[in-house]
Amino acid sequence: MAKPGFRLALFATLLAVVVVLLGAYTRLTHAGLGCPDWPGCYGFIGVPMSEHKQALAEVRFPEAPVEVEKGWNEMVHRYFAGSLGLVILALAVQALRRRGEPGQPLKLPLLLLGVVIAQAAFGMWTVTLKLWPQVVTAHLLGGFTTLALLFLLTLRLSGALPVLPDIPRHLRGLAALALALVIGQIALGGWVSSNYAAVACVDLPTCHGEWLPAMDFANGFHLTQHIGPNYLGGQLDSDARTAIHMSHRIGALLVTLVLLVLAWRLWAARQRRLGAVLVLALATQVSLGISNVLLHLPLTVAVAHNGGGAALLLVLVLINYRLRGVAAVASAARESAAVPVAAGLVQAGK
């Protein structure tokens, strides 16, 4: 039987999906700096629309001419993200009030509140640091972490999907490995996006017609690169972007192999529904990734690819929850959450 707070957690999970997709749309439409300030837009609560407000905006930010469409892309994302933050705050308050009730999670809602506060900081730094790739990637990871933790909270409050009994230890370990690899691949995908490397290779399975094209891994993964001046459109040369793109491809091959093995083991353990859902999510995501390359990153396919990554992550959260319970999934989620938090601490110390 569902516990109090289940519907609110489910609503927050669905809202988080929308926020993740809006974040992808904002990045892919190059609207990350559609508003040059934070949390407002050119000093206003919304995008300046009148001639008077736009003239005032030009005076305030002469280096950032007003682009209304991009501004609204950015602000709509902020409105939804802010709403999600308020819902998560409500979940945390609700958990504190009911902390003495049987089966009421407390640590997970409080962890979610901490993550969403960190996300707000990364949203600010994304703008003030002019799309610095490290912060943009951390912001993306924080969004996926928020989504995964909300889904986990929803599962706990639903009372409908108990932990499966008599699961072999090796299957649990394989599921945990698969979850970790998917988190790593999402981070790598964020690095591809934040460095504008998605179209660094426009052919498959080769890149520029070569199996081993020229690649600059040192600059492609130079995580301590200096901040600024403005990373809109990217600052890396072709070889560095190729290195990032090819790394994402190799990661996709590794993830695909491990997930197929996991699906086969689930099938052998008579967990055929879980295995089938995993294969379906994987096939969809791989197809979208291939389409991105061959069709040269159409907007709808690129946004769907982000959504496919989120779906694959949630499937792995579900599998780990059913096989091992909440402790294992929460541990993996905390590790993924530590990435953006650690990056924020580094940034704060600069």
3-state secondary structure the chain: CCCCCHHHHHHHHHHHHHHHHHHHHHHHCCCCCCCCCCCCECCECCCCCCHHHHHHHHHHCCCCCCCHHHHHHHHHHHHHHHHHHHHHHHHHHHHHHCCCCCCCCCHHHHHHHHHHHHHHHHHHHHHHCCCCHHHHHHHHHHHHHHHHHHHHHHHHHHCCCCCCCCCCHHHHHHHHHHHHHHHHHHHHHHHHHHCCCCCCCCCCCCECCECCCCCCHHHHCCCCCCCCCCCCCCCCCHHHHHHHHHHHHHHHHHHHHHHHHHHHHHHHCCCHHHHHHHHHHHHHHHHHHHHHHHCCCCHHHHHHHHHHHHHHHHHHHHHHHHHHCHHHHHHHHHHHHHHHHHHHHHHHCC
Pull the structure tokens for residue 188.
């790598």
Clarify whether 210 is annotated catalytic.
Answer: no
188 and 245 in contact (C-beta within 8 Å)?
A: no
Helices 299-324 & 272-294 angle (0-180, nearest 10)? 160
Question: Which candidate in 74, 101, 210, 335 is catalytic?
Answer: 74
Pull the structure tokens for residue 229.
């001046």
Q: Which residues contact 210 (CB under 8 A, 6 or more apart)?
A: none
Q: Residue 210's beta-bridge partner residues?
A: 207
CA distance 229 to 329: 39
Catalytic machinery residues:
74
